[in-house]
Chain A
Amino acid sequence: MAQPSNELRPELRLALRERLLQAGVAPRHVRRYLAELADHLADLRAEEERAGRSPADAESAALIRLGGMEELARAMTEKRQLQSWCVRVPWATFGLAPLFLLAGAWSVALFILWSGWKIFLPGADTPFIPQVDEVANLYFQAGRALYFGAPILIGWGIGLVAARQRLKAFWPIASLVPIALLVVTAQVRASRSEVPGGIGHISLKFAWGSSAQSFSVGLYHTLVVLSLLVLVMVLPYLVWRLQRALVRSA
């Protein structure tokens, strides 16, 4: 006998998946639920065929026994413990977690800057020297890539999480704006204590624009960069929303 196909009908699979994700069920539970339902349906279909039904009748009987869309969805959405963290505690997922991630990435980037200064430029007053040897350059560039790349990657990660959970734009944007604000106002400063060969210090300060600019010019500059940065960070999420809108309208 041929092995029964273990696939849910595409329309049922799609509708159930969307319904569960929109209700906040964690994507891994949704994936597993759909796979288990497909296996279960294949078993039911095989059982009905063994009982003498035609393949078409066996399919219909199996679907009835499996349960309707409403029943299958409700059973899952009623289990609060199966909801994803970004639905249960969105303020932590979209508020605190990205800030902690950014703080961690920037701590590592600043450590790279500080240790590079200590290793490759022990006598220099600042680590921001344009001419350094190749190894030192690679080392400093790694830190720089982490410093500038981390916020973008965090932004894309937030967009991905929001898209996977079919979330509306509020939480990803509410999460990205503070991150972008930190990025555009952050200024890395290096100083060395006055004594000869003194200890180097790296610090992070937050300010509107540079000290050479007036407040209004600094604010304007900051807002322009902030808007561009938010746009870059939210771009994958926007592309996903656009794609969904196109699929729905088709």
Chain B
Amino acid sequence: MAGRETNPNFMNGVPELLILRLLQQDEMYGYEIVQAIHTRSEAVIAVGEGVVYPVLHGLERDGALKSRRKTVNGRSRIYYSVTRAGSRRLAGLSEAWTNLAAAIQGMLAGGQHGAAIK
């Protein structure tokens, strides 16, 4: 029997997706990233402020991000930006999430998939 892809956790991969999307536009440090997610999602998506760093470290370790230390207003910050591998990962994640969102939307609207959940 062919294996079926599952979505055990709907939030799985969301922080990575949002961070990669934000950093594709501009390099940022952790605090800026959290603020940007909060603002641009109109406070709908709230990520734990401190837990953004393990995601950043993990993405950097995987080669999706690179970092550099920069001093701004007398404070040394670690700025992150997306690498080429990160852009490819973002494209993959975006596609997966677009498909998932469309499928969920379809089910909620009671379309083709709606019958299955009656």
**Which residues of A come within 8 Å of B, CB atoms?**
3, 6, 29, 32-33, 36-37, 39-40, 42-44, 65-67, 71-72, 75-76, 78-79, 81-82
Given A36-B30, A39-B31, A43-B31: A79 and B58 interface contact (C-beta under 8 Å): yes
Contact indicator B51/A71 (Cβ below 8 Å): yes
Contact indicator A72/B51 (Cβ below 8 Å): yes
- Secondary structure at the A interface, as helix, strand, loop or mixed, is helix
- Bound together, the chains give a CA A221 to CA B30 distance in angstroms of 60
Contact indicator B78/A81 (Cβ below 8 Å): no
Chain B, residues 47-79, CB within 8 Å of chain A (1/0): the string is 011110111011001100000000000110110
Which residues on B sit within 8 Å (CB–CB) of A76? 53-54, 57
Which residues on B sit within 8 Å (CB–CB) of A32? 57, 78
Given A3-B74, A79-B57, A79-B58: A72 and B50 interface contact (C-beta under 8 Å): yes
Contact indicator B53/A37 (Cβ below 8 Å): yes
Contact indicator B62/A65 (Cβ below 8 Å): no
Which residues on A sit within 8 Å (CB–CB) of B61? 79, 81-82
Contact indicator B77/A75 (Cβ below 8 Å): no
Instruction: Count chain B residues whose beta carbon lies closer than 8 angstroms to a beta carbon of A.
Output: 19
Contact indicator B50/A82 (Cβ below 8 Å): no
Which residues on A sit within 8 Å (CB–CB) of B48? 67, 71, 75
- Bound together, the chains give a CA A128 to CA B55 distance in angstroms of 59
In the complex, which residue of chain B has the Cβ closest to the Cβ of A62?
Answer: B49
Contact indicator A82/B58 (Cβ below 8 Å): yes
- Bound together, the chains give a CA A33 to CA B52 distance in angstroms of 10
Contact indicator B49/A66 (Cβ below 8 Å): yes
In the complex, which residue of chain A has the Cβ closest to the Cβ of B56?
Answer: A36
Closest chain B CB from A64 CB (angstroms): 9
Given A36-B30, A40-B31, A82-B58: A6 and B75 interface contact (C-beta under 8 Å): yes
Contact indicator B30/A67 (Cβ below 8 Å): no
Which residues on B sit within 8 Å (CB–CB) of A40? 30-31, 34, 49-50, 53
Which residues between 58 and 104 of chain B lie within 8 Å of chain A, taking CB atoms? 58, 61-62, 74-75, 77-78
In the complex, which residue of chain B has the Cβ closest to the Cβ of A78?
Answer: B54
- Bound together, the chains give a CA A32 to CA B69 distance in angstroms of 11
Which residues on A sit within 8 Å (CB–CB) of B53? 33, 36-37, 40, 75-76
Closest chain A CB from B50 CB (angstroms): 4
Contact indicator A67/B54 (Cβ below 8 Å): no
- Bound together, the chains give a CA A67 to CA B30 distance in angstroms of 14
Interface centre among B34, B49, B75, B77 (most CB of A within 10 A): B49
- Bound together, the chains give a CA A39 to CA B29 distance in angstroms of 10
Which residues on B sit within 8 Å (CB–CB) of A44? 31, 49
